[in-house]
Structure 1
């Protein structure tokens, strides 16, 4: 199958990460024809499907969405999934389409799935009073195999790993940590895609409600971070490999790719968010409010689910992406700190407009 005829399907391409990556595809000189059809990228290499993914509370729509996804997947040799990392039914639909394609054509299609380092969190230790020294490398597949089946994101990850083992498809899973920063792509500028990540905006939005920034316990937990544009560059490297030299990229147990370029202490992040919001006059004090019990943490997360992460640890190293793919991210934790004020200003403006 030549690179010029490789059909590629995007799922979740109007989201924060998907939209950032799709913008890169549209800006690629080799996809000049696609630029005149902004929601049909990779026109010469394949296709992108646009449409709402099913919501878990609507079973009829779930079933319709799954059937639509399965049909679309049957036509694609590469499926890039930026959608919900915990949607088991969608994962099964993707795999159903791949199995059908394999049976018809005798080929093993690829899924490039977006999971996350939430899979590394030990939720028995979420009170913000422990900095773990347990760090996962994506080259240590034996250690990755020990991640519990009930871990966050793990049920979907395991579906893809098992399907790869069965031999009818090839699974590549990108596992980013906390993502931050503004997308620089054309779709974000045109207002087509989501422009906000999860965790930093969650801290900001929650603080705008409470008028103080919260912290779980003492904020003693560490997560890795990556700028959204650096993450998009990793997807670009992988996609180029998949359509030009697919045998050069590992998959299955060896197809797990972490994507970090720095780490932060939750206490430091929360302090900087508080300082930025207080300087903007958006909260009453830069002093943090501590949430130190299970009950209080539940109260802390009632408005923004993603604030829970700041009592936990998730530490990874993107050794495979760097050594095997030559991924060279350029943004560091200093860029994370610099991103907080613009993010806060944007969210304050959005709140004022609603």
Structure 2
């Protein structure tokens, strides 16, 4: 009998992509969705739906207990869901993969350059990210509770998703703003740098982690980096908006995207390395390069 995987966020960008990759790899996949419409779309993809939310204790407990592998890709910051899933899996030796995000190493640079590069270590974050890091640490500590617990920490993700939702956040939002304003816009100088990873490579890392990672493992997911200004220049080339990017103030960005996204998704430095994933799991990212994807790939369609 094929192993059973339960994926939260199965209608989302990351979760939907991971769920379909697990299905392709021969797993039976169950996915959490909040709506009947989402359930119907999951069924069409070959995924068995469970209708519920991250706040629903009993459905989470039951689905986790019935699965061999649980992947939380719905919400990096939902402590109730994480603790519920860990409770269900305690002492089972089963696999739990939690999705974090590399904004945990973010600063409040407002578009300025930052030189700090992080390896695969959990750091003491800014106060705004302390709760997320605490969840990551809780997941990793669950290795001592009889759970094969793993944390994957994606960087800026790009490329077309496999599931219902095809788009990530950062690049599509920058493209939308560029088309609205006639040029791509970055906060301040746009010299802040983000590591990035193609969705194809990210889902392969999830599969490798599910199949090989030891308990208590933490992996950043990156295959290169670029400044926000360089990303904006690529968007300008893709949509023939001319060579000049535009600056926007932090206040302007907050009004546009909200404080969380402005500070940490677009204004910060988030520079990490994935040496451990490459060395321990044999992860070999080979997805389309970021600028190539922006200028000639899925964002042009």
TM (norm. structure 1) is 0.71
Greater displacement, 81-90 / 17-26? 17-26
C-alpha distance in 2 between matches for 1:338 and 1:298: 29
5+ residue gaps, structure 2, are: 36-51
Task: Summarize the Cα distance change of 1:147–1:110 in structure 2 as closer, same or farther, 3 Å threshold.
Answer: farther
Residue by residue, what CA displacement relative to the aligned partner does 1:209-231 show, whole Å, maximum 9, x if unpaired? 34432211101111111111111
Q: Tell me how far apart the structure 2 counterparts of residues 170 and 119 of structure 1 sit (CA, whole Å).
A: 23
Q: CA distance change for structure 1 residues 109 and 121 in 2, over 3 Å: closer, same or farther?
A: same
Say which of 242, 257, 273 aligns to 1:317: 273
Counterparts of 1:1-354 in structure 2, within 5 Å, are: 4=1, 6-28=3-25, 31=26, 42-43=27-28, 47-52=29-34, 65-99=56-90, 102=91, 107-122=92-107, 125-129=108-112, 131-138=113-120, 141=121, 144-147=122-125, 150-151=128-129, 153-165=132-144, 167-183=145-161, 188=162, 192-241=163-212, 249-252=213-216, 255-277=217-239, 279=240, 287-292=244-249, 294-302=250-258, 305=261, 309-331=265-287, 335-341=289-295, 342-346=297-301
Partner Cα distance (2:168, 2:56) in 1: 24
| Distance in 1 between residues matched to 2:55 and 2:156, nearest whole Å | 32
Describe the shift of the 1:51–1:297 C-alpha distance in structure 2 as closer, same or farther (beyond 3 A): closer
Report if aligned partners of 1:108, 1:168 keep a CA contact under 8 Å in 2.
yes
Paired with 1:49 and 1:309, the residues of 2 have a C-alpha distance of 27
**Alignment check: 8 A CA contact 2:253 2:262 kept:** no
Q: 3-state SS of the aligned residue for 1:91? A: helix
Q: By percentage of residues, which structure has more strand?
A: 2
Count of residue pairs the alignment pairs up: 283
Cα distance in 1, alignment partners of residues 55 and 227 from structure 2:
43
CA distance in 2 between partners of 1:156 and 1:70 (Å): 18
Structure 1: runs of 5 or more not aligned: 32-41, 54-60, 242-248, 347-354
Offset from partner CA, 1:175-213 (integer Å, 9 cap, x none):
111111124xxxx4xxx5211111100111223334432
Structure 1 residue matching 2:33: 3-state secondary structure = coil
Offset, 1:270:
1.0
Shift of 1:287: 3.2
> What's the secondary structure of 2:86's corresponding residue?
helix
Instruction: Give me the CA root mean square deviation.
Output: 2.8
Shift of 1:304: 10
SS of 2:71's equivalent?
Answer: strand
Q: Distance in 1 between matches of 2:125 and 2:258?
A: 28
- Equivalent position SS for 2:62: helix
CA distances 1:107-127 after superposition (whole Å, capped 9, x unpaired): 3322111111111102xx331
